[in-house]
Copies of this chain bind each other. A is one copy, B any other.
C-alpha cells in the first residue's frame, strides 16, 4: 500500500491547536481525567483533585509551647523581681513538656529557666513548690487549639501540585489519603524500517532509535506514565494493529514517525482507518510534518457503548522536531488532564548576537544559548537543523519567530522562553570564537566547580567581533599576523581599539593536514592540494586555521581556485576531521588532536599559539575566577597535555595587556 497524497498542507500553529482542542472538547477529553485516592506518603508531585478541608484542628487541644510549668496567669499578677511569689505543686503549677496538653485549670506556661525551686538540688519532677518573679499574661507560651488549622477550614486548593510541606498540612488536618488526578497514560510507538534498537550495530541508512526514550522521559517529567512499544517496521497493517492496541490501553498515542508524506509514511492513513485526521502538517519549524488525529477504540471486546475516543499524534522523526512536538502538543494536554494550569515558561529579554532569516509562512522555534554580558543578556542562535539534538541540549531557551516575520536582526531585542532558571544564565560563562578541544575540557572542569561554560564557534575573528559587540565574556583566538608573524595582538588592536583586554596564553598546538588512515592519495604538502584527484575541505572565513592556510598558500603562490573543495566550509576541527573520515574530502587543515580523535593520519605542518582574549572588566569579575583557576589546575593541564600535538608550557601566562 502506498499513499496518495504527496504534499502536506501546512496550517498555522494556532489553527492546529484549536482544531485539536475542539476535538478533545467534543470527546469530553479537554479537562482532568478521573480522580483516584492515594495514601499521602505517595502524594509528592501529584495534583489535588479537590480542595482539602481540615477534618480536625491542629493542635486539637491547648498545648504547652515550652518545657516549663503550667499555671493560672491570674496567680502571677503580683509577681516581680523584688517580690517573688510561690506556687504549690501540683495544685497551682504542674510541670509540662512542650506539646503536652494544658491542665484544664491552667492558661499559661512559665519556661523552666524562669523559675526557682523552693528546695535546691531536687529533681524538678519532685519539686513541692516553685518561686517566680514575673507575671504572665493569659495564654503565654500556650498554643491554643486550632492555632495552625481549624477543622472545616480550606487548607489546600484543588489543582495544587503537592509539595513536601503540603503533605504536612494534609496529614496535619486529619487526612491519611488524598484524592489526586490519575496519571495520564501515554503510548509511544517508534515506527520505521530504518530504525534499529539502541546498542545494535547500525549500518549506513540505519538509525538507532532513541526518540521514544526522549518522548517517554518528557511524558514522565510532565506527570504522565509512558509505555514504549517495540520498533514497528513501515507496514500499514502492523502499525495499525499496534495503534489500536496502544489506544485501548492508553489515554494518548504518539506514533513516531511516518508523519510526513513520503512513500513509507503510513501514520496518517493508519489514523484515518481507525478514526480521523484533524491536522496533517503545521507551519512550524522545526516540526512541520505533525499529524493530529482522534481514533475510536473499544476496550478490546466489541461492546458498542464502551467505545471511547483517543487522541493520536503523529510525531515527526527528526529528534528536535519530535521533542518540540512534545512540548507544543503533549505538555499542555497532560497539564490539562492533570488539572494544573499550563504555564508558559519564564521569559527573559535578550539581545540577538546575529541576524537570523526565517520563513515568512512558519512559526519558528529558534534555539539560543544565553549569557549575561555586562548588563545585557545576549542570545546566540544555535544550529537550526531539525536533526541536531545537541542544539536542544545546549539551548538555554527558545526564541519564537512568528509567521509573518522574516527574521531577526543582530542587536534586536527578543523574548526568550527559558529552559533553565534565569539564575543559571547569570552563572554562565559565554565564550565565542575559535574552537579548540581544550574548550570542551574547560567546560568539563568548570562543571566540577559548579560553573557553566557555553560556547559558540564563530572562528577567531568572529570571536573578536563578538567581544567588540559585548556579546561574550571571552574569545578563543589564534590569528596569525602575516606581517609580524605574531598571534592575535594586531587583530585585537584593529578590531577592539576601545576595549581594554588581557591576552592569556592557553596552549601551543600543531596544525597540519588530516588525512585518511594510510594516506591513500599520498599527500605530502600543501602543494598537493592543487592535484586534480585531491578534494580538500576548508574552514570558514575568519577562522584562524583559514587565515593560516591562506597565509601559507599566498606565500607559496598557490591560488584558491586551483583547490577543489576550497569553497566547502566547516566550523570546527572535528567537523573537518569527520568530513575526511567519512570520505567526503581527502584532506583538511586542522589540529593533530582532532585527527587523532577520529583515527586519521596527520601531517604536521605548523605550530601555533591559541590564546584566550578577555576584556579587562570580565577578567576581573568573579564569574571568570573559576575559569582562570582551572588554567593553574595540574589535573587540567595534564588532561590537555595528553592531547596529541598539545603543549601547555605557557598556559595561563599573560601575553599582553592592551588598552
Interface residue A450 (Cβ < 8 Å from any Cβ of B): yes
Please name all residues of chain B whose beta carbon is closer than 8 Å to the beta carbon of A346 when the two chains form the complex: 421-423
Q: For the side of the interface on A, what is the size category? A: 35 or more
Residues 332-364 of chain A, each 1 if its beta carbon lies under 8 Å from chain B, else 0: 000000000101101000000000000000000
9-residue interface stretch from A22-30, A92-100, A477-485, A492-500 = A92-100
CB nearest to A2 among chain B residues: B123
Q: Please tell me if the beta carbons of A145 and B581 are within 8 angstroms of each other in the complex.
A: yes
Q: Please tell me if the beta carbons of A41 and B216 are within 8 angstroms of each other in the complex.
A: yes
Given contacts A264-B97, A387-B65, A389-B169, contact A164 B582 (CB under 8 A): no
The residues in A between 1 and 37 inclusive whose CB is less than 8 angstroms from any CB of B are 2, 6-7
- Copies of the protein in its oligomer: 2
Give the residue of B123, B145, B168 whose beta carbon is less than 8 angstroms from that of A582.
B145
9-residue interface stretch from A78-86, A217-225, A273-281 = A217-225
Given contacts A144-B582, A393-B166, contact A213 B40 (CB under 8 A): yes
Residues 122-152 of chain A, each 1 if its beta carbon lies under 8 Å from chain B, else 0: 0111000000000000110001111111111
Q: Please tell me if the beta carbons of A169 and B41 are within 8 angstroms of each other in the complex.
A: no
Give min CB distance, A222 to chain B, whole Å.
9
Given contacts A145-B582, A168-B214, contact A155 B60 (CB under 8 A): no
Interface residue A598 (Cβ < 8 Å from any Cβ of B): yes
Please name all residues of chain B whose beta carbon is closer than 8 Å to the beta carbon of A526 when the two chains form the complex: none
Interface residue A165 (Cβ < 8 Å from any Cβ of B): yes
Q: Please tell me if the beta carbons of A263 and B423 are within 8 angstroms of each other in the complex.
A: no
Give min CB distance, A440 to chain B, whole Å.
4
Interface residue A241 (Cβ < 8 Å from any Cβ of B): no
Provide the bound-state CA to CA distance between A381 and B577, in Å: 61
CB nearest to A173 among chain B residues: B390
Please name all residues of chain B whose beta carbon is closer than 8 Å to the beta carbon of A145 when the two chains form the complex: 578-579, 581-582, 584
Give the residue of B217, B421, B447 whose beta carbon is less than 8 angstroms from that of A167.
B217
Provide the bound-state CA to CA distance between A138 and B451, in Å: 41
Provide the bound-state CA to CA distance between A477 and B172, in Å: 31
Provide the bound-state CA to CA distance between A32 and B213, in Å: 27
Q: Please tell me if the beta carbons of A448 and B159 are within 8 angstroms of each other in the complex.
A: yes
Q: Please tell me if the beta carbons of A210 and B171 are within 8 angstroms of each other in the complex.
A: yes
Interface residue A163 (Cβ < 8 Å from any Cβ of B): yes
Give min CB distance, A566 to chain B, whole Å.
12
Please name all residues of chain B whose beta carbon is closer than 8 Å to the beta carbon of A522 when the two chains form the complex: none
Given contacts A113-B6, A213-B167, A393-B156, contact A146 B421 (CB under 8 A): no
Q: Please tell me if the beta carbons of A146 and B582 are within 8 angstroms of each other in the complex.
A: yes
Provide the bound-state CA to CA distance between A214 and B58, in Å: 16
Q: Please tell me if the beta carbons of B214 and A152 are within 8 angstroms of each other in the complex.
A: no
Please name all residues of chain B whose beta carbon is closer than 8 Å to the beta carbon of A568 when the two chains form the complex: 138-139
Q: Please tell me if the beta carbons of B423 and A598 are within 8 angstroms of each other in the complex.
A: no
A interface, over-half SS: loop
CB nearest to A570 among chain B residues: B144
Q: Please tell me if the beta carbons of B164 and A443 are within 8 angstroms of each other in the complex.
A: no
Interface residue A154 (Cβ < 8 Å from any Cβ of B): yes
Q: Please tell me if the beta carbons of A154 and B581 are within 8 angstroms of each other in the complex.
A: no
Interface residue A655 (Cβ < 8 Å from any Cβ of B): no
Please name all residues of chain B whose beta carbon is closer than 8 Å to the beta carbon of A61 when the two chains form the complex: 204-205, 582
9-residue interface stretch from A194-202, A372-380, A506-514, A542-550 = A194-202
Given contacts A164-B214, A172-B208, A319-B168, contact A148 B388 (CB under 8 A): yes
Give min CB distance, A355 to chain B, whole Å.
21
Interface residue A385 (Cβ < 8 Å from any Cβ of B): yes
Interface residue A517 (Cβ < 8 Å from any Cβ of B): no
Q: Please tell me if the beta carbons of A148 and B385 are within 8 angstroms of each other in the complex.
A: yes
Give the residue of B44, B159, B166, B317 whose beta carbon is less than 8 angstroms from that of A98.
B317
Please name all residues of chain B whose beta carbon is closer than 8 Å to the beta carbon of A168 when the two chains form the complex: 210-211, 213-214, 319, 323, 389, 392-393
The residues in A between 33 and 66 inclusive whose CB is less than 8 angstroms from any CB of B are 40-41, 44-45, 51, 57-63, 65
CB nearest to A200 among chain B residues: B176
Q: Please tell me if the beta carbons of B144 and A578 are within 8 angstroms of each other in the complex.
A: yes
Provide the bound-state CA to CA distance between A385 and B203, in Å: 66
Interface residue A158 (Cβ < 8 Å from any Cβ of B): yes
Provide the bound-state CA to CA distance between A390 and B423, in Å: 28
Please name all residues of chain B whose beta carbon is closer than 8 Å to the beta carbon of A6 when the two chains form the complex: 112-113
Given contacts A450-B341, A578-B150, A598-B151, contact A164 B393 (CB under 8 A): no
Q: Please tell me if the beta carbons of B210 and A62 are within 8 angstroms of each other in the complex.
A: no
Give min CB distance, A189 to chain B, whole Å.
16
Provide the bound-state CA to CA distance between A136 and B294, in Å: 40
Interface residue A558 (Cβ < 8 Å from any Cβ of B): no
Give min CB distance, A74 to chain B, whole Å.
11
Q: Please tell me if the beta carbons of A154 and B423 are within 8 angstroms of each other in the complex.
A: no
Interface residue A262 (Cβ < 8 Å from any Cβ of B): yes
Interface residue A597 (Cβ < 8 Å from any Cβ of B): yes
Interface residue A456 (Cβ < 8 Å from any Cβ of B): no
Residues 447-487 of chain A, each 1 if its beta carbon lies under 8 Å from chain B, else 0: 11011000000000000000000000000000000000000
Interface residue A153 (Cβ < 8 Å from any Cβ of B): yes
Q: Please tell me if the beta carbons of B113 and A221 are within 8 angstroms of each other in the complex.
A: no
User: Other CB < 8 Å A-B pairs besides A60-B202, A151-B578, 14 of them?
Assistant: A45-B221, A59-B387, A62-B584, A145-B578, A145-B584, A148-B385, A158-B448, A164-B214, A164-B217, A164-B323, A168-B323, A172-B210, A343-B421, A343-B427
Q: Which 5 A-B pairs have the closest CB atoms?
A: A341-B450, A146-B578, A171-B210, A61-B204, A164-B217
Instruction: Give residues in A with beta carbon < 8 Å to B.
Output: 2, 6-7, 40-41, 44-45, 51, 57-63, 65, 67, 97-101, 104, 112-113, 123-125, 138-139, 143-160, 163-169, 171-172, 174, 176, 192, 194, 198-199, 202-205, 207-208, 210-211, 213-218, 220-221, 228, 260-264, 317, 319, 323, 326, 341, 343-344, 346, 385, 387-390, 392-393, 421-424, 427, 440-441, 443-444, 446-448, 450-451, 568, 572, 574-575, 577-579, 581-584, 597-598
